[in-house]
Structure 1
């Protein structure tokens, strides 16, 4: 990145509130696409977004806004890449992008330049991206509300467009209009005109300038966000905004609430190899494809007479024979087969799963918790078998169950088990260690806690028996993560 000429610090604002419906079955409500490695094998989309400016001269630590249910996933993924954020703000409910950015702007220094980035986009040419940000910084410091338009590569009907107007200098233009997703004929005319850009959903402006325009254009939204922050509370390393005040906030995007109505909107064109990864056909375009058949594969896959398809295997062999233009995605609990050109409609399947109350829309078989994760290996009436992994130095809550007993067998590492002994006035807690191949039994109604005191992950097999095995049969008495 060139030496910055800006005077104010550049603060990345990471919007990580996605619900995960369009890339089902890999992406789920509790583990949406920003936490997945879809563009690179070594980092998730959220981590990629943070690393675009991480450690760059003139760039401050990021502000991250996320769903409260994802807070520990966000914190863990930031820790994995060595990033300490300014703040992780927790939204109690979804209110679209404008309120989320308002929360960040109220938290930031008034003069800070806020670079607003969705956490689930891919950008491959960092030099082109950073050069565009530098150009936009000059316009933002002058009071403009800057958005970044992607130079279109084809007549795409899945993106909104921006029509650029007169040149403003620094490679930027006045915004003439924001245009909704067009039909194919109109998209072709946009491409031929040369005056239209894809709307990237990335923005840059001074915090105080955005708040001033929000107060002018959507005062009720700003009032609700101020109230939600004022009544918010610290929760470990997070700031949890007030649920009641935030729920009263109007729901709207930055585009609709501010950018389409302000007189100070500017657009900076860029071509950084951008994708919003909005559906599986975008993943097919993004991932390297084998020549000459145009396929993109992941995992244990065998193809024969297969062309222009994406085949993604998570847990077992997937083979295709004699097919064209398909998306095949396999996870442990679901298989998707779709026409590659109809993947925008996958959300209809998710809607039907939600209507039926099925768990496949919400969580993967591997469920993440602040202490680690667990995976259900077998479940039937009367018993359940789980693999539990506890990260080094972490512990589960001190808890008990009304309807089930548990048997733990250590497979790897060392477990510290705390368990109540005796009854009534004589009941007391005692602790002991279990090593590999050792086991213990936790009777129904017994107070207990599991902890990993070692330096390697603790893996154990848990066998549950009882009349009810749901996750809501947990009574917490003490919890390091504020869940009791």
Structure 2
């Protein structure tokens, strides 16, 4: 058991990626790791709880993009956990993030043990996970970059595999013979029969060892990470990496950058239940199902349907006489796919983005630090939104060139500022903001403020906002 606080594992949770294969539920504005796909908590919250529930872990760090920073803060507050939050101004995949994490840890202690975990993994047994991390500490101290290799229960084609080499003493761990990419079905079956392990993407290492291997195999990534951290600035409670420096890092994963090349790779076989829920089929696989093999959530009815995943947040969704399908209904998009072909959803999203379809990346409901807004209707010269402002929340002081706005309060009290004049608007009352007027909306009360916003003008896009005083959100 680890008792000396200087020897605690430093957990780092990576929150990059948009989860495109889980579209239309997962989108850039709120990707899969921040969505409660399996119950009361998002997988991000599950990952955080997993590394604060055992005494071998120290205060966690979270690395994520700027667009989701306030979602992360709110979800951390919901579970009562504090963390260091590091913002990536641009996406550079996991190699750069790992390099930043290793550099930060080495500042405190070059031999610090760092744990890298993803925010979208599902692990059912947190105690077994902690025990596995503890078991990997000794070979990591010896200089091995340890991977947790999951004992496969089926020949999965969606995961990479690890082939074991000789044991590392009596630690229960092994040296890695090689990492292999996602195989076809026949090869996957062969790997399982030969005792290969799934590559979970969970790594444990000494900070100085990872820095040495990055210097050897990916010096450009390490140099960019060091400069991005050196020139980072503190923004509210965030550590914002320097964009120009980070941009110099090649966009690559830590697997390609280091793990597939280093002779210092080790692996600890683990048998806890694990999934990265990378596709709708993977979500179906880890979900509770009824006697017909169906996972049904929301406003859903099915008949003569088996082994299917059907989800609807809003409108009634019905499926009749189909097997092995995925049907996901959102207010602005519907997905229907064969369950075993659900990995192709990412290609669909790529196509939608090429067509500049907003549904590819944007949710109708947009989270903001002050609350959220949701589009209700939109036409050639108008848009209707539902807006909810948290108690004490305030929007930016702003103006619009091409539209006027009408605000109708339906719950709570609104503090409305128009050209310096402040008015309280109560339930059933309305405020009018002419085009070009400098204005602000705030909630001075103790209950959520809810209102309907009606925009009228020649252009109602989100980019028609001139912020006079920015409060991190329109």
Tell me whether the two structures share a fold, i.e. TM-score over 0.5.
yes
Counterpart of 1:460 in structure 2 is 451
- CA drift at 1:340: 0.7
Equivalent position SS for 2:155: coil
Q: Could you list the runs of 4 or more consecutive aligned residues of structure 1 that deviate by over 3 angstroms after TM superposition?
A: 2-7
SS of residue in 1 equivalent to 2:383: strand
Instruction: Report how far residue 6 of structure 1 moved.
Output: 8.4
Deviation at 1:372, TM superposition (A): 1.0
Single out whichever of 355-364 and 165-174 deviates more from structure 2. 165-174
TM score, norm. by length of structure 2: 0.96
Q: CA deviation at 1:476?
A: 0.5
TM-score (ref. length: structure 1) = 0.94
Distance 2:317 2:91 in 1: 36
- Does residue 276 in structure 1 map to residue 276 in structure 2? yes
User: Could you tell me how far apart the structure 2 residues matched to 1:4 and 1:202 are?
Assistant: 23
Q: Deviations over 1:202-256 (max 9, x none)?
A: 1111222211221122112111111112222222211221211111111221112
Matches of residues 389-400 of structure 1 in structure 2 within 5 Å?
389-400=388-399
Shift in Å, 1:4: 5.6
Q: What is the correspondence of 1:183-198 to structure 2 with a 5 Å cutoff?
A: 183-194=184-195, 196-198=196-198
- How many Å apart are 1:436 and its aligned residue? 1.6
Equivalents in 2 of 1:450, 1:61: separation in Å? 36
Aligned residue for 1:367? 366
For residues 446 and 399 of structure 1, the distance between their equivalents in structure 2, rounded to whole angstroms, comes to: 8
State which drifts further: 213-222 or 272-281: 213-222
Of 366-375 and 109-118, the range deviating more from structure 2: 109-118
Q: 1:216 corresponds to which residue? A: 216
- Whether the aligned pair in 2 keeps the contact of 1:410 and 1:437 (CA below 8 Å) is yes
Residue ranges of structure 1 left out of the alignment (5+ in a row): 421-428
SS in structure 1 opposite 2:456? strand
2:153 maps to which residue? 153
Q: Which residue of 1 aligns with 2:301?
A: 302
Q: How does 1:108-123 map to 2 (within 5 A)?
A: 108=105, 109-110=108-109, 111-123=111-123
**How far apart, in 1, do the equivalents of 2:329 and 2:191 lie?**
37
Query: How many residues of Structure 1 are paired with residues of Structure 2 in the alignment?
Result: 470
Q: Deviations over 1:333-383 (max 9, x none)?
A: 111111111111111211111111100111111011111110010100111
Q: What are the Cα deviations for residues 426-448 of structure 1, in whole angstroms up to 9, with x where unaligned?
A: xxx12222222221111111111
Q: Aligned partners of 2:321, 2:256: CA distance in 1, in Å? A: 46
Going from structure 1 to structure 2, the CA distance change for 1:55 and 1:189 (only over 3 Å counts) comes to closer
Q: Which residue of 2 aligns with 1:81?
A: 79
RMSD (Å) for aligned C-alpha atoms: 1.5
Contact kept? 1:148, 1:199, Cα under 8 Å: yes
Whether contact under 8 Å (2:56, 2:134) holds in the other structure is: no
Partner SS, residue 433 of structure 1:
strand
The answer to whether structure 1 residue 342 and structure 2 residue 346 are counterparts is no
Q: Deviations over 1:81-104 (max 9, x none)?
A: 11111x211112221111111112
1:311 aligns with 2:303: no
1:179 alignment partner in structure 2: 180
Counterpart CA distance in 2 for 1:409 and 1:282 is 43
Q: Could you tell me how far 1:279 is from its partner in structure 2?
A: 0.5
Cα distance in structure 1, aligned partners of 2:408 and 2:5: 58
Deviation of 1:3 (Å): 5.9
Offset, 1:170: 2.3
What residue ranges of structure 2 are gaps of 5+ in the alignment?
Answer: none
Q: Is the 8 A contact 2:100 2:225 kept in 1?
A: yes
- Name 1:480's counterpart in structure 2: 471
Q: Which residue of 1 is the match for residue 245 of structure 2?
A: 245
Would the aligned equivalents of 1:61 and 1:83 in 2 still touch at CA under 8 Å?
no
Q: Bigger shift: 155-164 or 71-80?
A: 71-80
- Farther off after superposition, 302-311 or 71-80: 71-80
Q: Distance in 2 between matches of 1:62 and 1:121?
A: 16
Aligned-pair CA distance for 1:469: 0.6
Distance 1:22 1:151 in 2: 24
Give the aligned partner of residue 100 of structure 1. Answer: 97
- Residue in structure 1 matched with residue 321 of structure 2 by the alignment: 322
